Structures are given as structure tokens and as C-alpha cells.
Chains A and B, each alone.
Chain A
Amino acid sequence: MDATESVAPEIRVRDLHVILEKREILKGISVEIPKNRITAIIGPSGCGKSTLLRCINRMIDLVEGASVTGEVLIGNVDALSPGIELTELRRRVGMISQTPNPLPMSIFDNIAFGPRIHGERDSKTLDATVSRCLKTVGLWNEVHERLYDPAAKLSIGQQQRLCLARALAMEPEVLLCDEITSALDPISAKHIESELLAIKNEYTIIFVTHILRQARRIADHVIFLYLGELVESGPAAEIFSSPKDPRTKEYLEGVFG
């Protein structure tokens, strides 16, 4: 692709509106997401956190009749522009979902899937990618002897780490994580958290969570959404210690949501 894409993939969202089934789900969001940091999106259930994430890698396209306007600049490519190559966008923007969703194939093939469809054929390179990614997520020691077993045989926590490794294998610039620890036991959740912390200098990570303590633990930057609007965003320390908006304050104090 052209050289301009190597510019910082800091994400700039401008005036993002999403309408689903005649309801405005996101009402003009404008926000900047810093490069190579963990940004937590918090807010009560149904406020549009997942919807915002799905705009960044255009998974929102799978929802029939969704109308999306505005801009989502990743580097200086607008993810919402109609002519964009979706497959390349999604390679650059990895996504891990709430419940682990391994593909119906072996552990190895799960991780090699992304590189393969994006054109990687060399088996040595694939081997290297698979072991590198498994090591990054701390799964290598657990599974290196059964790389060709079905992914479905792994425990839920292992499956989620596999999904993280699978996203990393595409060498993305951005990682979208939608409540990725909510289906896991506390130990597995800790694993994932520490892995994200370990890799955050190389990836722009956007992390949706309902657990405020988790956001406090790992986020550098926080975005607070409320009923489809952006209420406040800024460095985590600031937001958590001195929120400017009363709604943020109430949310952090556990008044709602």
C-alpha cells in the first residue's frame, strides 16, 4: 500500500453518527485515540461502546440497514470511506470479541488463518508467526505439543488467548477488545490483562470494559460514553481522579450502570 499509511495510526473519530432501525445509537462522537496506548471505553450498558468499536473495523457493515456517517481516521485513512479495502482495514485493525470464537480448525490453522488469507504461503514464515504469537500470549508452553488439535478443545480462557494470538498474527496496528475478559475466570482474565500491558507499546489498544477497577489497572486513556454521546475523554489518571462532568462522576461512583 502507499507510504502515507505508515504515519502514526492514532485514531481520530469525527462527528460519528450511527442509526440502527431508526434509532440513533451514536449521536455525533468526536474523539482522539492515542497511538500505542491502552484506551478504555467505559459507560453503562447499551450506551454504544460496542457500536463504536464496530465502526472502527467496519464490522458494523454486517448489521443490515445500519447508517453510519462521519469519519474514523486511522492514520490518515478514513475507515468509513466507501472505497476502502475492507480486508486490509480489518487486517490493520484486529478484533477480539466478548466470547472466544475459535474457528473450526486446529490451533495452528486458527492463528495461520489471517496471514494465509492475506497472502502468506511460506510455511516457515507461518511456523514462525504461530510460535511467536503463541509465545506473546503465553500459550506456547501449554499448547506447543498439540498445535494440530482442534481449537475447540482448549479451555475458554485458552481460547480467548488464542483469539488474541490470532489477531496479533496479522500484525495489526490497532486491537479492538470488547469486554474480552467478561466470559473468563479471574485467573485467565489476569493473564489477558498482563499480556495486553506487555504489548501495549506496539499496538493501539481500545478496550471496552464494565469493570472500573480493570480500567484503572490497565488504561492510559479513558473515554466515557453515555446514551450514545461522548461525555468525557482524557488521560486515565485525570478522569478517575477528577472527572469534569457530573455524569462521569456519578458513573464512577457507581450511581448507575
Chain B
Amino acid sequence: MRRIEEAVFKALMVISLFIVLGSLLAVILVVVIRGAPALTLSMVTQVPQGGFYLGKEGGILNAIIGSLYVATGATLIAIVIALPFAWYLNQYAGKSRFADIFRAILDIATGVPSLLYGAFAFSIMLAIGAKTSLLWGILTIALFITPLLARSFDEVIQTVPFKLKEASFALGATRLETVLYVVSRQALPGILTGILLAFGRGIGDAASILFTAGYTDSIPTSLGDPVATLPLAIFFQLGSPIPAVQARAYASGIILLAIVLILSVVSRVLTKRYMKYVIK
């Protein structure tokens, strides 16, 4: 009886894991198989030409570049805010209650759906009369990924052993020097992973910038221009009744997937590379 129960549950576990990994494979395979026929070089080298949305010439370079602009800008802003935030939590707040309160706030902010950050940013835009633009796209994504980033920085920095800080203080370093040159150094692999994850979230999110970034067929030349992004390009092309355009949506899906995949590989490589100075 005991044996049977164990065998049954073990089988269920294996099946579950297969379902999980299988669905991952299914997601990738389905998108790749259906998108591959429409994936041409011009997809990634051209902006939409006349009649693109009717199935004619062109590509989605505008959205690829747009996504990179938006995600890069947002990630930079997020780093500038999140890194000091994590320093504060781990170096300056000590064991004070403020650290607990700010961590709780961070947790809540992390859980707020990206859509709501978009709605919030759009409300502000309406209030001040701003137009949809690259700048607002960046700001909206930054709103959404900053808490994520701060939380992941906080988590890696918390794991930095106390004895390292002690060594640094004993050499006469100030708290700032300790956090800049010792703590951040030790946490570097984790910090890089966090940044790439946040960048990936920024590139993949559509709900937040639906209202704020606008959409355009050209590559933005200033922060005030509207900007197209990959997820929205997929979404809009899917809405077309023309099969050729829909097929391009699938191909755009491959491009988005490829970016995510590259990010995850780069993250692994970087982590390995910067692990070598880390004290275990």
C-alpha cells in the first residue's frame, strides 16, 4: 500500500514536470513553426513600407529598435533608482523599522500589474497634456520595472556575507566606500542578472505602454516622437484580417522570443564571468 502510494505520487510528479517543460517547448515550437515561413531578412532590416499592413513590403525594424530604446532607457532609469534603494535598505537603514516598511512597499509595488502603471502614467499625461512618446514609454516601463529591480538587488545584496563588510570597515572604509567597492563587487553577478531580467520584462511588456508610447512606422529620432514596440507590433498585426500580416505577427513573435533567449544566455555567461572574484 505504501509502495503504491509512493509510486502513484512519484508518477504524478514526473507527469507534472513533463507538462511544465512540455508547455514551454510547445510555446516555443508553435511560435517558431508558424512564424518561420514569414520570417525574412527584410523583417529585421526594414521599417514598414507603403501597404505593409495590407501584406506588402517592409519589416518591423521600427518596433525592434523602438523596443530596444524603450527597454534600455527604462532599465537605465530603473538602475539609477533601484541600486541606491537597495544600498539604503542594506547599508544605511541598519535594522531600523524603516527598512521593513520600505521592503513591504517594494513588495506591493512589485505585485501591481503593469497595466495599472500604464493607466497611471496615462492619467498623468492627460493631466499635463503630454502626447504619447518615446519618453513616456520609457517612463512607464521604468515605473513598472524599478520595483522589480530594487527587489532583486535587495535580495542579492542581502546575501553578501557580513564578514566582507567587516573587512572593509576594518580597513577604514566608509559605508559608502564599502557598498560601492566591496558589497556591489561581491553582488555583481546577481546585479547583472537582475538587470537583464528587468530589461527582458521591459522589452516584453505591452500592457503598460499600450497607452503611453504611441505607435509609428518610423524609427524615433527624438524622445518626443511616438515609438513602436515589438509586443504591440505583434498585437496589432494579429488584429489584421489579412493572413500574410498575421503570419508576420508570428514571425515577430520569433524575434521577440529570440531576444529573450539571447538575454537569458548573456545573463548566464556574464554571471559565470563575474563569479570569479566572488567570495563564497
A and B touch in the complex (CB under 8 A): yes
Residues of A within 8 A of B (CB): 57, 59, 62, 64, 86-91, 94-95, 97, 99, 101-106, 113-114, 117-118, 150-152, 163, 166-167, 170
Which residue of B has the minimal Cβ distance to A116? B181
Which residue of B has the minimal Cβ distance to A113? B171
Q: B98-134, CB under 8 A of A: which get 1 and which 0?
A: 0000000000000000000000000000000000000
Check A87–B172 contact: CB distance below 8 A: yes
Check B185–A95 contact: CB distance below 8 A: no
> Hey, which chain B residues are within 8 Å of A117, CB to CB?
171-174, 177, 181
B57 at the interface (CB under 8 A from A): no
B163 at the interface (CB under 8 A from A): yes
- Shortest A53–chain B CB gap in Å is 11
Give the 10 A-B CB pairs with smallest separation, nearest first: A90-B172, A104-B186, A101-B167, A87-B172, A95-B170, A91-B172, A114-B171, A150-B277, A104-B277, A101-B163
Enumerate 9 A-B pairs (CB-CB under 8 Å) in ascending A order: A62-B169, A90-B172, A97-B170, A101-B167, A103-B167, A118-B172, A151-B277, A152-B276, A152-B280
Q: B277 contacts which of A62, A87, A152 (Cβ < 8 Å)?
A: A152
B3 at the interface (CB under 8 A from A): no
Check B95–A104 contact: CB distance below 8 A: no
Check A105–B172 contact: CB distance below 8 A: no
> Hey, which chain A residues are within 8 Å of B170, CB to CB?
57, 59, 90, 94-95, 97
Q: In chain B between 142 and 188, which residues have their CB closer than 8 angstroms to a CB of chain A?
A: 163-164, 166-174, 177, 181-182, 185-186, 188
A-B contacts counted at CB < 8 A amount to: 79
The count of chain B contact residues (Cβ–Cβ below 8 Å) is 24
Per DSSP, chain B at the interface is: helix
Q: Tell me which of A57, A89, A90, A167 has the highest count of chain B C-beta atoms within 10 A of its own C-beta.
A: A90
Which residue of A has the minimal Cβ distance to B167? A101
Which residue of A has the minimal Cβ distance to B177? A117
Check A152–B279 contact: CB distance below 8 A: yes
A104-B278, A150-B276 given; A166·B171 CB < 8 A: yes
> Hey, which chain A residues are within 8 Å of B166, CB to CB?
59, 62, 97, 101
Check B163–A97 contact: CB distance below 8 A: yes
- Shortest B17–chain A CB gap in Å is 35
Q: How far is the CA of A152 from the CA of B168 in the complex (A)?
A: 16
Q: A114 contacts which of B172, B276, B278 (Cβ < 8 Å)?
A: B172
A57-B170, A113-B171 given; A152·B164 CB < 8 A: no
> Hey, which chain B residues are within 8 Å of A167, CB to CB?
171
Which residue of A has the minimal Cβ distance to B162? A62
Which residue of A has the minimal Cβ distance to B168? A103
> Hey, which chain B residues are within 8 Å of A87, CB to CB?
172-174
B51 at the interface (CB under 8 A from A): no
B241 at the interface (CB under 8 A from A): no
Which residue of B has the minimal Cβ distance to A92? B172
Check A104–B172 contact: CB distance below 8 A: no
> Hey, which chain B residues are within 8 Å of A59, CB to CB?
166, 169-170
> Hey, which chain A residues are within 8 Å of B168, CB to CB?
103, 113
Q: B181 contacts which of A62, A113, A151 (Cβ < 8 Å)?
A: A113
Which residue of B has the minimal Cβ distance to A89? B172
Check A103–B172 contact: CB distance below 8 A: no
